[in-house]
Amino acid sequence: MSRGHGSVQREVMAALARVAEIRPEGWVLLRDLAGGREASRSDVEKTRRAMRRLADERLIEMGYVYAPDDNSSRLLVARKFLGTWKPNLTDKEDEQLYTYLWIETEKANEQLQLLGSRYRVKVEYVGPAYQAQVISLGGTPLFEYPYDPRPGASLDKPMR
User: Phi and psi at residue 77, in whole multiples of 5°?
Assistant: -130, 160
**Residue 151 banded pLDDT, cuts 50, 70, 90:** very low
Q: Kindly state whether residue 134 falls inside one of the protein's structural domains.
A: yes
- Asked if 157 and 63 touch (Cβ cutoff 8 Å), the reply is yes
Amino acid 110: pLDDT? 95
Q: How distant is the alpha carbon of residue 106 from its chain centre?
A: 34
Q: Kindly state whether residue 66 falls inside one of the protein's structural domains.
A: yes
User: Phi and psi at residue 24, in whole multiples of 5°?
Assistant: -55, -35
Whether 160 has a pLDDT exceeding 50, the answer reads: no
Domain count within the chain: 1
Q: Kindly state whether residue 107 falls inside one of the protein's structural domains.
A: no
Secondary structure (3-state) at 96: helix
Q: Rounded mean pLDDT of 61-89?
A: 78
Q: Kindly state whether residue 19 falls inside one of the protein's structural domains.
A: yes
pTM, 2 dp: 0.65
Q: Rounded mean pLDDT of 97-122?
A: 92
Q: How far apart are CA 17 and CA 148, in angstroms?
A: 23
**Residue 157 banded pLDDT, cuts 50, 70, 90:** very low
Q: Rounded mean pLDDT of 90-95?
A: 82
- Asked if 25 and 19 touch (Cβ cutoff 8 Å), the reply is no
Integer angstrom CA distances of residue 145 from 53, 77, 80, 118, 125: 25, 11, 17, 36, 18
Bridging pattern class, strands 60-67 and 156-159 = antiparallel
Q: How far apart are CA 50 and CA 60, in angstroms?
A: 10
H and E: helices and strands count for the chain: 4, 6
Amino acid 153: pLDDT? 46
Whether 127 has a pLDDT exceeding 70, the answer reads: no
Q: Kindly state whether residue 15 falls inside one of the protein's structural domains.
A: yes
Q: What is the CATH number of the domain that holds 57?
A: 1.10.10
Whether 156 has a pLDDT exceeding 60, the answer reads: no
**Residue 159 banded pLDDT, cuts 50, 70, 90:** very low
User: What is the dihedral sign for C-alpha 152, 154, 158, 160?
Assistant: negative
Q: Kindly state whether residue 25 falls inside one of the protein's structural domains.
A: yes
pLDDT per residue as tens digits for the range 18-73: 999 988 888 899 999 999 989 999 999 999 999 999 988 989 988 888 777 776 67
Task: Please give the residue range of the domain that contains residue 68.
Answer: 7-85+127-159
Portion of the chain with pLDDT greater than 70, in percent: 82
Q: Kindly state whether residue 79 falls inside one of the protein's structural domains.
A: yes
Q: How far apart are CA 152 and CA 131, in angstroms?
A: 16
Q: Kindly state whether residue 57 falls inside one of the protein's structural domains.
A: yes
Amino acid 26: pLDDT? 86
